[in-house]
């Protein structure tokens, strides 16, 4: 007997994956597809959309005729800050322009002045001025620099909704993509910002993330979800599985601090400190901040390794020493002033430490304090959160975790193990379209972290 499954296409900048989940949200299969980038017409790298499109279409076709699986639903979770332009016949007009592509200065000449200045516009749209990373402003770039293309544009879609369109031929939009530093959404008034109408740019009314279109593929009914932005998708398991308010720290090279329970407006000060807002699948603001924490850790721990003649991964065997902690917890030696452009703190004299282990303890103490600075940006005045969930690489760094627990006495720190959280969240979002009955009970894999005594 064939197993009923949901197929999730998890489209990252580097990795493209298709994952199959059963009715109990158990992962049954995971396949990764490596697709090399190509160049756009300006010679800048971008995703090879024709190959991605062909891969998605072929995977769906194979699943629809599979003897092992019965495909019930498909959904898409993708990276953000990417728009696709269609003509009136639904043909794609452009490549998937890379959000790292430079934004020419002339595109935004006078734009911010027209809308209350860069600081107020950025605050209102929860979008730091990031050039092409503000995907809405990519439309102005296309309009000004490629008018012959822009004049043929009939529909504009974010990347998750483009893949939905590829399968369903339906035009739609949704808030997790719109709300991700796009400069499109007016967070004060909870609607598209007025500049879009002023520029005669018409975008679809946002739909709920659990909406789907039913298609018949090889005589089989399949629900096709409208897609979701990957950061918001990774929050879904916690929003559904946590019984009380929480803050999520997603760690890696970049560490993202997300509070879905902070509805305070973004301030100019927070914006200036690398904070912004996402929008969750519940269509609520998610106050977020970020820190280049993984990179800061790696380059400075490497400096310690070089100084003391250790291997690069020496820190993995460093055990928490409470004597070092008690002696140094209130001292800040690394990053006392500001972070340098290369994030390596050369002002610290490593010969002042007796060992690599002692220096590493100080480094992690100071990195934890940097993390606290970022965390405080998403904690409102009337805070209701009591739990902090840590996922990713630093969830395996017990020194960091116990320091965090020690420096946040009013909160309980947990590590959480949700594999493939982005794909898992996208599957959860469309589960009730694929199956009937009660949704599965989630196991967030929580492990409580003890503070130092």
pLDDT at residue 325 tops 90: no
The end-to-end CA distance of the chain, in Å, is 56
Q: Quote the CA–CA distance of 267 and 124 in Å, as a whole number.
A: 9
Predicted local distance difference test score (pLDDT) of residue 221: 92
pLDDT at residue 245 tops 80: yes
User: Coil, strand, or helix at residue 213?
Assistant: strand
Angle between helices 398-407 and 356-376 (to 10 degrees): 50
Stronger pLDDT, 328 or 68, i.e. the higher one: 68
pTM of the model: 0.87
Q: Quote the CA–CA distance of 79 and 127 in Å, as a whole number.
A: 16
**Residue 263 burial (CB count, 10 A):** 12
**Range 83-104 average pLDDT:** 96
Predicted local distance difference test score (pLDDT) of residue 228: 96
**Range 399-413 average pLDDT:** 94
User: Coil, strand, or helix at residue 256?
Assistant: strand
pLDDT at residue 183 tops 80: yes
Contacts of 352 (CB under 8 A, 6+ apart): none
**Per mean pLDDT, which range of 80-84, 147-151, 336-340 is the poorest?**
336-340
| Closest to 358 measured CA to CA, from 321, 406, 310 | 321
Token look-up 């190959």 returns 51
Predicted local distance difference test score (pLDDT) of residue 331: 81
CA distances from 270 to 248, 289, 341, 384, 408 (A): 18, 8, 21, 20, 21
Structure tokens belonging to residue 327: 């002696």
Contacts of 260 (CB under 8 A, 6+ apart): 235, 239, 245, 246, 248, 280, 282, 284, 285, 286
Q: Which residues share a beta bridge with 33?
A: 16
CA 403 distance to own-chain centroid: 25
CA dihedral 210, 211, 217, 221 (to 10 degrees): 80
- pLDDT tens across 41-51, in order? 999 999 999 99
| Closest to 385 measured CA to CA, from 242, 241, 237 | 242
| Closest to 84 measured CA to CA, from 69, 100, 95 | 95
pLDDT at residue 327 tops 80: no
In this prediction, residue 15 has a pLDDT band, given cuts at 50, 70 and 90, of: confident
Contacts of 404 (CB under 8 A, 6+ apart): 368, 371, 372, 388, 390, 413, 449
Q: Quote the CA–CA distance of 413 and 161 in Å, as a whole number.
A: 36
| Closest to 284 measured CA to CA, from 213, 397, 185, 383 | 185
pLDDT at residue 1 tops 90: no
Contacts of 130 (CB under 8 A, 6+ apart): 181
- What domains can you pick out in the chain, each with its CATH number? 3-226 (3.30.420.40), 229-453 (3.30.420.40)
- pLDDT tens across 358-396, in order? 999 999 999 999 999 999 999 998 898 999 999 988 999
Across the chain, mean pLDDT equals: 93
- pLDDT tens across 226-239, in order? 999 988 998 999 99
**Residue 16 burial (CB count, 10 A):** 20
- pLDDT tens across 262-310, in order? 989 888 889 888 888 999 998 899 999 989 999 999 999 999 999 999 9
């Amino acid at each position: 007997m064939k197993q009923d499954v949901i197929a999730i296409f998890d489209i990252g900048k580097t990795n493209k994956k298709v994952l199959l989940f059963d009715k109990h949200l158990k992962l049954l299969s995971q396949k990764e597809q490596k697709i090399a980038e190509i160049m756009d017409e300006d010679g800048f790298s971008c995703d090879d959309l024709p190959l991605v499109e062909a891969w998605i279409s072929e995977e769906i076709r194979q699943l629809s005729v599979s003897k092992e699986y019965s495909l019930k639903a498909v959904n898409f979770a993708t990276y953000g800050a990417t728009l696709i332009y269609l003509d009136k016949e639904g043909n794609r007009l452009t490549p998937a322009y890379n959000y790292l592509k430079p934004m020419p200065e002339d595109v935004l000449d006078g734009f911010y002045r027209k809308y209350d200045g860069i600081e107020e516009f950025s605050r209102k749209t929860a979008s730091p001025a990031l050039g092409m990373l503000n995907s809405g402003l990519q439309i102005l770039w296309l309009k000004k620099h490629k008018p012959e293309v822009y004049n043929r544009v009939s529909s504009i879609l974010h990347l998750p909704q483009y893949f939905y369109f590829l399968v369903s031929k339906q035009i739609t939009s949704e808030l997790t993509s719109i709300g991700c530093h796009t400069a499109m959404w007016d967070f004060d008034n909870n609607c598209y910002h007025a500049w879009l109408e002023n520029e005669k740019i018409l975008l679809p009314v946002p739909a709920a993330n659990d909406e789907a279109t039913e298609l018949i593929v090889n005589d089989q009914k399949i629900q096709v979800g409208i897609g979701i932005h990957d950061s918001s998708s990774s929050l879904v398991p916690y929003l559904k599985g946590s019984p009380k308010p929480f803050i999520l720290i997603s760690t890696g090279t970049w560490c993202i601090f997300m509070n879905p329970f902070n509805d305070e407006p973004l301030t100019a000060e927070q914006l200036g400190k690398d904070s912004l807002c996402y929008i969750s699948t519940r269509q609520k603001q998610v106050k977020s901040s970020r820190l280049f924490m993984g990179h800061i850790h790696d380059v400075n721990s490497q400096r310690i390794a070089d100084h003391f003649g250790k291997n690069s991964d020496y820190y993995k065997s460093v055990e928490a020493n409470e004597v070092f902690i008690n002696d140094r917890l209130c001292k800040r030696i690394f990053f006392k002033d500001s972070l340098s452009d290369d994030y390596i703190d050369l002002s610290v004299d490593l010969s002042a430490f007796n060992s690599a282990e002692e220096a590493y303890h100080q480094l992690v103490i100071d990195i934890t304090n940097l993390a606290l600075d970022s965390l405080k940006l998403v904690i409102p005045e009337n805070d209701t959160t009591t739990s902090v969930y840590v996922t990713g690489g630093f969830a395996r760094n017990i020194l960091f975790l116990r320091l965090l627990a020690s420096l946040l006495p009013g909160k309980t720190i947990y590590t959480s193990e949700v594999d493939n959280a982005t794909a898992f969240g996208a599957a959860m979002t469309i589960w009730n379209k694929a199956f009937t009955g009660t949704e599965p009970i989630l196991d967030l894999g929580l492990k409580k972290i003890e503070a130092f005594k």
